[in-house]
Amino acid sequence: MKYKFYGLPLHYGADSIGINYGIDELKKELQKKKADVIEKIEVANEQENGHLKYIKYLNSITKSCTTLAEKVNQTVKNDQIPVIIGGDHSIAMGSISGVAKEKEIGVIWVDAHGDMNTHETTVTGNIHGMPLAALQGYGHEKLVNIFYNGAKIKTSNVVIFGARNLDYREKLFIEQLGIKIVYYRDIVSNGFKQEMRQAVNYLLERVNKIHLSFDLDVIDPNFLPGVSIPVEGGISVAEADYLFDFFIQNNLLSSVDIVEYNPMFDSNHVTRDFVIHLLKKFK
């Protein structure tokens, strides 16, 4: 098998119920089709410091991501491509750390949000708004030092793609660091394919392989409602489909996350079935 699938039903990073049922929901449906390929990783439930309102569930998230990083790292050493299904987006601190220990990678962060907050800028205290900052070495030291100490990815190797809902201070931080960002409005103005190819070319000038971190909320919730934080607007299902096909067919991937599937907000299983449709592309 070229690909190895992990499921980590972590919901602490979003601090919202529902995401924790996502992996079981996917596995149940895949089992019906005798196609269950997902290895489920149990979420850690650690003792937490309830006073840390600006960085909630820090210990459980750190522990869960470390377990994931160890598994992903072994997968990369076995020359397989890890595909990780969430869980909320904080799982990317585990998946990317596991890959980055072995090779320099680019990251395309496909998301309605920036996930570039730290415990010092966050409004909600939810860690799923912080993983992209932590992976570059910014934020709480426990998050920055998941799996091994320090930054996992270079800022110049990152593209945020499809953003349409950034916090004010988060936006300033992105600009200050000079992260390449393609806003949803750029996609509307210039076309999806052109913006995507430009983002890919930018990364391929710097690295050979790319980690695709795909937050389902980048897609318009009118098409795909089963996400934890729906934001108005967004790319179409067909565009997301094209993006996955492009990365797979051009052999660009080091690794993949698919995150924030929330069956409690789904409508007629459309989001579940789309995730399964995406998973089938990896063979």
Residue 110 Cβ vs Mn ion, minimum distance, rounded to whole Å: 9
Catalytic residue among 113, 119, 140, 211: 113
Closest to Mn ion by CB, 80 or 169: 169
> Which among 141-149, 161-169, 197-205, 210-218 is the span making contact with Mn ion, rule CB under 5 A?
210-218
Q: Does 88 bind Mn ion (CB under 5 A)?
A: no
71 binds Mn ion (CB under 5 A): no
Query: Where does this chain touch Mn ion (CB under 5 A) — which range of 62-70, 143-151, 180-188, 213-221?
Result: 213-221
Owner of token pair 């006073």: 51
Q: Interacting stretch for Mn ion, rule CB under 5 A, among 110-118, 163-171, 223-231, 248-256?
A: 110-118
Catalytic residue among 11, 25, 88, 89: 89
Please spell the DSSP secondary structure of 71-83, one letter per residue. Answer: HHHHHHHTT-EEE
Query: Is residue 115 flagged as an active site residue?
Result: yes
Instruction: Give the count of beta carbons closer than 10 Å to the beta carbon of residue 58.
Output: 20
- Does residue number 111 form part of the binding site for Mn ion (CB under 5 A)? yes
The CA distances from residue 71 to 20, 77, 172, 230, in Å, are 20, 10, 35, 30
186 is catalytic: no
Indicate the SS3 state at residue 85. Answer: strand
Size of the site for Mn ion (CB under 5 A): 4
* Shortest distance in whole angstroms from residue 89 CB to Mn ion: 3
Among 88, 215, 220, 257, the one annotated catalytic: 215
The pair of structure tokens assigned to 72 is: 């992903």
Nearer to Mn ion, 117 or 249 (CB): 117
25, 115, 170, 186: which one contacts Mn ion (CB under 5 A)? 115
User: 92, 129, 124: which is closest to 108 by C-alpha?
Assistant: 92
Using CA atoms, how far residue 253 sits from 27, 99, 245, in Å, is: 24, 11, 11
Active site residue 266: no
Cis amide bond preceding 18, omega within 30: no
**What are the residues facing 161 on neighbouring strands?**
110, 182
* DSSP string of 163-216, one letter each residue: E----HHHHHHHHHHT-EEEEHHHHHHH-HHHHHHHHHHHHHTT-S-EEEEEEG
Closest CA to 257 of 143, 128, 118: 128
Nearer to Mn ion, 111 or 170 (CB): 111
Known catalytic residue: 24?
Answer: no
- Is there binding between residue 215 and Mn ion (CB under 5 A)? yes
Shortest reach from residue 140's CB to Mn ion, in Å: 17
Which residues form the catalytic set?
A: 89, 111, 113, 115, 128, 215, 217, 260
Chain residues in the site for Mn ion (CB under 5 A) = 89, 111, 115, 215
